[in-house]
Each structure stands twice: as C-alpha cells, then as structure tokens.
C-alpha cells in the first residue's frame, strides 16, 4: 500500500485562515471566562485550559511544523474531541441534578439530559478523531472525504447556535463561537492540505529523530524483539580474515596520489558503506522493541587516543557518511574530524557530556542513566545528545592493528542502538600453497563482527560479508559511487 503524506504550505491562504480561526477560538474561550462563566476543578481544565491549549497547539503546528510534520496535528485534534465529549458529560450531570435548568438552555442542550446521547457524542467524537488520524497516517488519498466529515460537525454547531442563541448568556455565546472557530480551523486546514509529490520519505508517527520505523517487517521479527529484549543477549559473533594483497597495492597507489595517511581503515569503512548501499538492512537498528532504518545517514563511532601511551587521553568520534561516498570521501571526512579532535584540548562534546555525568553522585548518576534509557526507549532523547552519544550509531569500529594484537570479541551495548561492532586486528603473514602447488606468502588481517540478530537474520549478514570480501579483493570499485542505492522496506 502506498503511504501518503500531507502538508500545508505557508503560501496557502487557507493555512493562515485556519491559524487565525484557531487563535480566535482560544481568545473566545478566555473571553467567556471574563464574561462570567463559572468553572472549577476538572471542568476548568477540560472545558477551558485544554481547549485553549488545543487551539493554540493546532495553530502552532500549522504555522511552524505544517510544511513538514502536519501529522503532529492529530494530538490537538484528539484532545479537542475529548473536550467536546467532556462538555456533553458535564451538561448531563448538571441537568440530572437540576432538570428545570433545561428549560432555559434551548433545545440543543436539552438533548444532553439523556445518557445515551452523551455516549453517542463520545462515539462520534472519537470516530471523528480516528478518521482524521487515518488520513494523517497516510492511509487514504481521498481528501474530499475528510473535508466532508469535518464539514458535518461544523454544520451541527451552526444549527445548534442558531437554535439556542436567544436563550444563552454572553459567556455561553462566546463559548459556542469558540467551538465553531476551532472546528472551522480544522475544516480550513483540510482545504489547505496537499500531498507530497517529491517521491521522498516524510516522517510520521512512530518515527524517531534518528531513524524511520519499519512497518512492513515480518511478524517473527517483531515477536523476537520481545523474546530477546536485550541487545547483548541477541548478539551473534562471526570472525574471519581478509587477504590484503590487493588492498595494500591500492593503499600505495592512493598515497602516491597525495593521500598521505590513507590506510586499510579507510578502505574497510568505504567497503562497509558500499555494503549498506546494496544491503540497507545493515543500517537498521532496534530501539523500544521496534526496528528502525537510518537511510542516508551512516554513522561510524570509534575511540581514538591522542597519544599512543597507556595513560594517553582517549575520546570518541562520530563520523557521518552516505551510501554514495567513495574512498576519497571517507578519507577526507574522517581526516577532517580526526584532526579537529587530535589537535584540540580534550573538551569535545562527548567529553563534556561524559564529564558532566561523571561529576554527579553515584546514586543520582544511576537515576539519570535510568531516565535516559526510558527516554531512549520511547525515542525522546534530544538530537544533540544523540549526536554526542557513542552508543547511537550504525556501527562502532575499533582497530587493534596499531596495538599489534588480534581483534577482540567485543560485546554490544544494551544502552543506545548500536547494532554492529567490528574489530580489526594486526596484519600478519601466512605461507600457503597457490593453485600450482607452490608455497607463497600472503598477508592477512583478522576481523570479528558482533551483530544484533533482531535487525536482520544470519542469511542476510552472510550475503553482506560475501559482498564485503568481494569489494576488498577489488578495492578499485570503491573509487566511484555505486550505480544504484537500494532503499530498505517501508
């Protein structure tokens, strides 16, 4: 099913007409209190504070977020429906306590004396909300249906106002006008709505700031996320070796072209980026028992030492790449961020946040980490914290080559959403027999890859590794962008 996304343009007159009506609704609600409408307790919250918030929130979303995130308007629409339902219930309770009061309220309010009518009102209001949400989640392109559904309550409000106008006090007249303006704002907004036609993905409910939710993933993958709730318990490890004869020739060639510090690390990163371009499942991550996709943003995290000493300062860097990056792009982007960190005092964003947390008392720090985990579960961690967090990325990479030791088998972190940990060891020589039976010396590098099996299955990773080895046997393929970038499932 094709997902449809709606937006409103700031150049559309109906957008601003809807904004003005929504703001006008909030003003009328405030004036109704000034003209003597007496409310207290829950009635004040549900019949005044909440509708004022709904009206101003709807206006804000249209004016500020409507061009990109109109789906967020479903929240004020829901609470507006709750407000209308609570008004119906409140009048039922009032008339039940004083039946004679119905005579002075006009025919419209007399209907609220029946509990079955109150229940019907709640059903209608909530049904209206679900219809609106149905459209905002992109399940229908027949916008005229939504406009017709919105026009019906508008007509009912006009009829009710005309029918009871003469019997109402000023404060109640203002309240009715406020309700009319709020529904009118929604109707004007439906006239301003347009469908995105750029063919790109646009965020909606359930997406995170660092990834879009995959909604067509198979049922078993969904259930497995609850059976294996922790990343560490769902991790698989695979080790292998890379024959680097062609890679080393490629490195010498690049250094001769002026890339002084070009090395095997850059080639491996570029090869992994190319794997994601063909197999986008590698760029998925799991958070809150749901699977997400980062799409164009490939995030590499790694620890670096400013000085190669046991007491040397260490920090974390995060490198942002895209599927079309070549080895030259990887080299330039990595060297830029590496030099920035290496040649400045140890006061990077990561170090600043880590230092601030480390200064907290132990019990308070434990509570703060718990809060961050809860926020992360629901995708509510602010973007600036995600950017400095080394635990939120596509892959974390470590090289043991400079230390002269084999690759370690590293665990995944239960905090954050890192789905892959790659460790590469030192270079070494090995004598083997070639096809003619002659003894030859070849150079290898071992690696260990630890993966979260809840994002993609073992067969998928096996296919990716075959392609990964193919690229490292032919590193020249990484000099040009891929002919095609495969998009992951919806």
The answer to whether residue 129 scores a pLDDT higher than 90 is yes
Q: Over range 437-441, report the average pLDDT.
A: 84
The answer to whether residue 106 scores a pLDDT higher than 50 is no
Pairs from 383-386 (Cβ < 8 Å, separation ≥ 24): 383/209, 383/210, 385/353, 386/209, 386/210
Percent of the chain with pLDDT over 70: 89
Q: What is the pLDDT of residue 459?
A: 86
- Of the candidate ranges 18-27, 31-40, 106-115, 176-185, the one whose mean pLDDT is the lowest: 106-115
Q: What is the pLDDT of residue 206?
A: 86
Partnered with residue 241 across adjacent β-strands are 446
Taking Cα atoms as reference points, which of 280, 156, 233 lies closest to residue 452?
Answer: 233
The answer to whether residue 118 scores a pLDDT higher than 70 is yes
Q: Over range 95-118, report the average pLDDT.
A: 55
Q: What is the pLDDT of residue 111?
A: 45
CB 226 within 8 A of CB 45: no
Kindly state the tokens that stand for 191.
């006239």
Q: Over range 406-426, report the average pLDDT.
A: 90
Q: What is the pLDDT of residue 113?
A: 45
d(CA 324, CA 95): 68
The answer to whether residue 311 scores a pLDDT higher than 80 is no
288: left (phi over 0), alpha (psi -120 to 50) or beta: left
The answer to whether residue 298 scores a pLDDT higher than 90 is yes
Indicate the average pLDDT of the chain.
85
- CATH architecture assigned to 212-479: 2-Layer Sandwich (3.30)
More confident residue, 305 or 336: 336
3-state secondary structure the chain: CCCCCEEECCCCHHHHHHHHHHHHHHHHHHHHHHCCCCCCHHHHHHHHHHHHHHHHHHHHHHHHHHHHHHHHHHHHHHHHHHHHHHHHHHHHHHHHHCHHHHHHCHHHHHHHHCHHHHHHHHHHHHHHHHHHHHHHCCCCCCHHHHHHHHHHHHHHHHHHHHHHHHHCCHHHHHHHHHHHHHHHHHHHHHHHEEECCCCCCCCCCCCECCEEECCCCCHHHHHHHHHCCCCHHHEEEEEEEEECHHHHHHHHHHHHCCCCCCCHHHHHHHHHHHHHHHCHHHHEEEECCEEEECCCCEEEEEEEECCCCCCCCEEEEEEEECCCCCHHHHHHHHHHHHHHHHCCCCCCHHHHHHHHHHCCCHHHHHHHHHHHHHHHHCCCCCHHHHHHCCCCCCEEEEECHHHCCCCCCCCCCCCCCCCEEEEEEEEEEEEEECCCCCEEEEEEEEEEEEEECCCCCHHHHHHHHHHHHHHHHCHHHHHCCCCCCCCCCC
CATH 3.30.559.10 maps onto the chain at: 212-479
For 287, what's the count of Cα atoms within 13 Å in the CB-facing half-sphere? 31
CB 61 within 8 A of CB 8: no
- Of the candidate ranges 62-71, 356-365, 446-455, the one whose mean pLDDT is the lowest: 356-365
Q: Over range 228-252, report the average pLDDT.
A: 89
**Cα-trace Rg, the chain:** 30
Q: What is the pLDDT of residue 256?
A: 92
| Residue 223: band (very low, low, confident or very high) from pLDDT cuts 50, 70, 90 | confident
């Amino acid at each position: 099913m094709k997902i449809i996304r709606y937006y409103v343009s700031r150049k559309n007159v109906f957008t601003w007409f809807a904004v003005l009506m929504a703001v006008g609704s909030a003003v009328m609600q405030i004036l109704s209190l000034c003209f003597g409408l007496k409310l207290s307790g829950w009635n004040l919250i549900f019949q005044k504070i909440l509708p004022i918030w709904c009206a101003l929130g709807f206006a804000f979303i249209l004016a500020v977020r409507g061009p990109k995130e109109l789906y967020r308007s479903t929240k004020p629409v829901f609470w507006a429906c709750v407000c209308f339902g609570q008004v119906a219930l409140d009048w039922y309770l009032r008339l039940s306590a004083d039946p004679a009061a119905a005579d002075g309220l006009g025919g419209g309010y007399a209907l609220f004396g029946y509990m079955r009518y109150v229940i019907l009102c709640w059903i209608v209001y909530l049904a209206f909300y679900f219809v609106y949400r149905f459209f905002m989640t992109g399940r229908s392109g027949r916008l005229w249906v939504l406009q017709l559904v919105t026009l019906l309550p508008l007509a009912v409000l006009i009829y009710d106002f005309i029918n009871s106008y003469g019997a109402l006090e000023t404060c109640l007249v203002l309240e009715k006008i406020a309700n009319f303006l709020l529904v009118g704002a929604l109707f004007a907004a439906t006239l301003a709505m347009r469908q995105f036609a750029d063919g790109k993905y646009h965020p909606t409910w359930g997406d995170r700031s660092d990834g879009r939710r995959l909604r067509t993933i198979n049922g078993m993958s969904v259930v497995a996320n609850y059976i294996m709730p922790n990343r560490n318990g769902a991790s698989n490890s695979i080790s292998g070796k890379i024959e680097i004869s062609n890679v080393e020739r490629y490195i010498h060639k690049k250094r001769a072209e002026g890339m002084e510090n070009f090395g095997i690390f850059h080639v491996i990163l570029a090869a992994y980026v190319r794997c994601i371009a063909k197999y986008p499942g590698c760029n998925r991550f799991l958070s809150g028992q749901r699977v997400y996709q980062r799409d164009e943003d490939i995030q590499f995290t790694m620890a670096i030492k400013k000085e190669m000493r046991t007491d040397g300062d260490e920090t974390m860097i995060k490198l942002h790449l895209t599927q079309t990056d070549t080895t030259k792009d990887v080299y330039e982007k990595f060297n830029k961020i590496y030099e920035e960190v290496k040649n400045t005092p140890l006061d990077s964003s990561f170090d600043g946040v880590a230092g601030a947390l480390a200064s907290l008392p132990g019990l308070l720090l434990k509570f703060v980490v718990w809060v961050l985990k809860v926020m992360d579960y629901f995708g509510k961690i602010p973007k600036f914290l995600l950017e400095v967090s080394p635990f939120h990325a596509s892959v974390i990479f470590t090289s043991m080559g400079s230390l002269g030791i084999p690759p370690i088998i590293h665990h995944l972190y239960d905090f954050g959403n890192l789905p892959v940990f790659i460790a590469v060891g030192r270079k070494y020589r090995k004598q083997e027999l070639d096809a003619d039976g002659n003894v030859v010396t070849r150079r290898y590098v071992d690696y260990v890859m630890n993966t979260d099996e809840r994002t993609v299955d073992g067969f998928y990773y096996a296919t990716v590794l075959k392609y990964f080895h193919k690229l490292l046997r032919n590193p020249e393929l990484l000099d040009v962008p891929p002919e095609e970038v495969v998009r992951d499932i919806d």
